[in-house]
Amino acid sequence: MRIVLVIALLFGTVTAWSQNVRINESEKTKATVDTYNEKAANHSNRDSSFFYYYRAVQIARSILYYEGELEACRGLVQYHKNDKVFDDRLEYAYRIVQIQEKRGSNKEKAAAYQQLGLLYFDEKIYEKAIENFEQGFLLNGISIQNKYEAGIWLTRSFQYANQSDSALIIARKLQFEEEWLTDFQRITLYKEKAEVYHSLSAYNEELDAYKNIVRIAKGTKHSRFVPIAWNNVGFVYKFLGNTNEAKNAFLNTLQTAKPDHAELKAAANYNLGLILHNQGRSDSAMVCFQAAHDLYTNLSDWKSLASCRNMMSLSYFHSQDPFNAQNMLNTAFEIERKYKLKAEEAKSHEIQSLYYEDQFDYESSLKSYKRYLSIRDSLLTLERAEEDRLKSNQYRAEQIEKQLRVVWAQNEIEIISLAEERARMAAEQERTERQLKEQELAISQQEAKVRLLQLQEEELKVQAKQRELELIQRDNELKELELEKERLLASDKEKEIELLEIEAKRQASLREAEEQRREAERQRYQNRLQLIFGVLLFFILILLVILIAYRQLRKRKKRIEEQNAIIAESKKEIEIQKEKSDSLLLNILPHSVAEELKANGAAKPRLYDEISVGFTDFSGFTMISEKLSPEDLVAQLDAMFLEFDKIIERHGLQRIKTIGDAYMFAAGLPDPLEDHAARSIKAAIEMRDFINEFNAGLKPENPTWNIRIGVHSGPVVAGVIGIKKFAYDIWGDTVNTAARMESSGAIGKVNISGETKAQLNGEFTTEHRGKVEAKNKGAIEMYFVEKK
């Protein structure tokens, strides 16, 4: 009984397993993937949609159905759109890029790069966004619309990444296609250019860009952009201190704004109020502030309303109305605390401190000012935390991309192995079918031969029947003879009867002998046929076995030769690619770092206690880029940076990177140098002298290059960043200070810090500049340095 139960249990398990396998195999079709994608797209339950999309991805990958996988990945990107963590969204967006890079058209590649770039842009990982937008922008054969979209987002990414020069270059490339752009696209392009010009302090060009927007949009369906452009013009003039032009621009904003432009009207009134307030016209300013106040209240824009109330409070204060000033400030505090508007609350505390000071209540004034400083410091802390979060996101994104590449590479290997196995099985099946056909053909041939023998046997039977008929005929003749004999006997012709009897006996003996002869001949013929058939069958079987064995040996030999050829070619290609990759790696990384990266797959960051960092930059680069064509600009930069590389190499230094027209180098890494400061200054002076010689060789109509160089010494952290494009970089306060040495220097001079001077020997002369104020660094001891 127990044995029966065990057998039944085993049978049930095997049956269930076989059914499960059969169900899974039946799902592996393109129709199943399309069905799952359709169900996911139309399902009202979000979790069910995820299940169907995820299932479609798994099945599509297993059967290499890329179109179905693309559709499912797009659905999963949309599914994870509102996730706080972008890891899943990045996984499927990156997978779309991978598939389109291998199989898609340039248009489809551009769309995939655009989607991934927007994901990085939304997460404020601008370097990765630039990488993807740039790949889409540089594709050939895409439409003007696709190129424009990629170019606009690439310009914005460069702008947010503080690479304004690169942003301007892309914007100008787009402007070459202006005749093919719609009015809306031209307006957007000029808006982006205006923002770039502002960051480059090219305010006249910024004003021209906004005025071009007014020219294009005026009197068209895009006229809503006219007051926006006038408002921005007012901001620029206000920034430049041209209050009359600023007021005219803000008044144009109010005149051209439509009734539904409440937010724009509020901003224009507020800015007019600020201008009038700064001119000491508090009553007029109050009218503008009140108009802005009413609009912001209707819009429920609490942040702008709080700022407006702060300025109204100041206007009351300057109008010698402290009571209303304090009441208005209290209402500002209420909004700020209710809606947690920390920046505006800090401003209110600063104003409150001013009021207490005017009332000689210095203790309360100090308390308010400390509160202002406390909130400001907390906001700065939040900004730093946000910067750290963005850096963490960028690092995590790079790690995710690295992991995804490894996983998908493994998947590709598995898919290739599966395809090879399927091809092998198909070849094996084809070989088996061919053998079966050959065997069927051999059997058919044997059957034909058997049929031939049967026909021959039937022919012999027919001949035997004919002979039997002849014998019957002779029997009849004998009977006739006997009748004749009887007749002769009856007629008493005995002699003739005897002769007839003798003849009959002779005929009978002849017939018997003939039958024996025929029987022996027939027996010999059958024996001979059987022998021939057996020998023929034996030789056919031997020949068939030899033929099959020969064909197998030929195929195996050919397959081995092909595999050996493929292996040899692959080894050769791998060696060539390895040499190329090693050469490229040494071009972008120091030798020791490259060796560590090849040996371990990664290079650990390293702290250097004392190195020197140098920066070069060209003053007026933006104006030079406007006077030169893009080709001449890049050619001249390439010539100068190539010579800088030679100078760096001569002095045993390390080029870190170029950023637009800036060149960054370091001495004392990856291998420490005792005289890193002296080497850096020698290289810097050679660079300065080379630029002077380069300018002397330029044509008179070409603009000259004005270089500033700064050097600072101190500790840094160095390492390799990136997983798709490796880059050797350094970080630390020393880098920031070196950049300030350059920006605080003078044209044609090498500006160094006190820390660098302390490490020099007597081979240089220095000019003490005293303590010079540097951005975000305070006052720093600086020196101009020259060779003796």
Which region among 124-128, 426-430, 713-717 has the lowest average model confidence (pLDDT)?
Answer: 426-430
Q: What's the CA angle centered on 535, arms 533 and 541, to 5 degrees?
A: 100
Q: Which pLDDT score is estimated for 21?
A: 31
Q: Which pLDDT score is estimated for 16?
A: 34
Average pLDDT over residues 744-758: 92
pLDDT tens per residue, range 646-667? 999 999 999 988 888 899 999 9
What proportion of the chain, given as a percentage, has pLDDT over 70? 86
Confidence class for position 547, pLDDT limits 50, 70, 90: confident
Question: Rounded to 10 degrees, what is the CA torsion of 528, 529, 535, 538?
Answer: -150
Q: Is the pLDDT of residue 155 over 80?
A: yes
Average pLDDT, the chain: 82
Q: What's the CA angle centered on 115, arms 112 and 118, to 5 degrees?
A: 145
Confidence class for position 3, pLDDT limits 50, 70, 90: very low
Strand, helix or coil for residue 241: coil
Which region among 102-116, 384-398, 489-503, 621-635 has the lowest average model confidence (pLDDT)?
Answer: 489-503
Q: Which pLDDT score is estimated for 4?
A: 36
Q: Which pLDDT score is estimated for 435?
A: 77
Angstrom distance (rounded) from CA 555 to CA 559 = 6
What residue type is assigned to position 256 of the chain? Answer: T
pTM: predicted TM-score of the whole model, two decimal places: 0.50
Contact 561, 549 (CB under 8 A): no
Angstrom distance (rounded) from CA 742 to CA 684 = 11
CA distances from 736 to 642, 660, 775 (A): 25, 17, 10
Q: Which pLDDT score is estimated for 556?
A: 80
User: What does DSSP assign to residue 84?
Assistant: S
Burial class (CB in 10 A: 0-12, 13-18, 19+), 719: middle
Angstrom distance (rounded) from CA 224 to CA 256 = 8
Place of tokens 């209707």: 298
Contact 665, 614 (CB under 8 A): yes
Q: Which pLDDT score is estimated for 11?
A: 37
pLDDT tens per residue, range 76-127? 888 888 777 777 888 888 888 888 888 888 888 888 888 888 888 888 888 8
pLDDT higher at 445 or 689: 689
Q: Which helix (H) or strand (E) holds 752?
A: strand 750-753
Strand, helix or coil for residue 614: strand
What residue type is assigned to position 77 of the chain? Answer: V
Average pLDDT over residues 229-236: 88
Confidence class for position 584, pLDDT limits 50, 70, 90: low
Angstrom distance (rounded) from CA 308 to CA 302 = 10
Q: Which pLDDT score is estimated for 667?
A: 94
Which region among 67-71, 417-421, 447-451, 762-766 has the lowest average model confidence (pLDDT)?
Answer: 417-421
Angstrom distance (rounded) from CA 701 to CA 707 = 19
Q: Which pLDDT score is estimated for 598?
A: 67
Average pLDDT over residues 15-27: 44
Region class of 716: left (phi > 0), else alpha (psi between -120 and 50), else beta:
beta
Which one, of 179, 71, 205, lies nearest residue 192 by Cα? 205
Output the six-digit token pair for 587.
């071009």
Strand, helix or coil for residue 279: coil
The DSSP-derived string for 377-392 is: HHHHHHHHHHHHHHHH
Strand, helix or coil for residue 673: coil
Which one, of 718, 714, 715, 738, lies nearest residue 728 by Cα? 718
Spacing of C-alpha 737 from chain mean position: 35
Output the six-digit token pair for 686.
């050679």
Which one, of 607, 131, 178, 739, lies nearest residue 398 by Cα? 131
Residues 6+ apart with CB under 8 A from 613: 656, 664, 665, 666, 680, 711, 712, 713, 714, 716, 730, 734, 735, 738
Residues 6+ apart with CB under 8 A from 708: 616, 617, 618, 619, 742, 743, 745, 746, 747, 749, 751
Residues 6+ apart with CB under 8 A from 140: 106
Q: What are phi and psi of 724, to 5 degrees?
A: -105, -40
Angstrom distance (rounded) from CA 704 to CA 419 = 62
pLDDT higher at 420 or 376: 376
Q: Which pLDDT score is estimated for 14?
A: 33
What residue type is assigned to position 105 of the chain? Answer: S
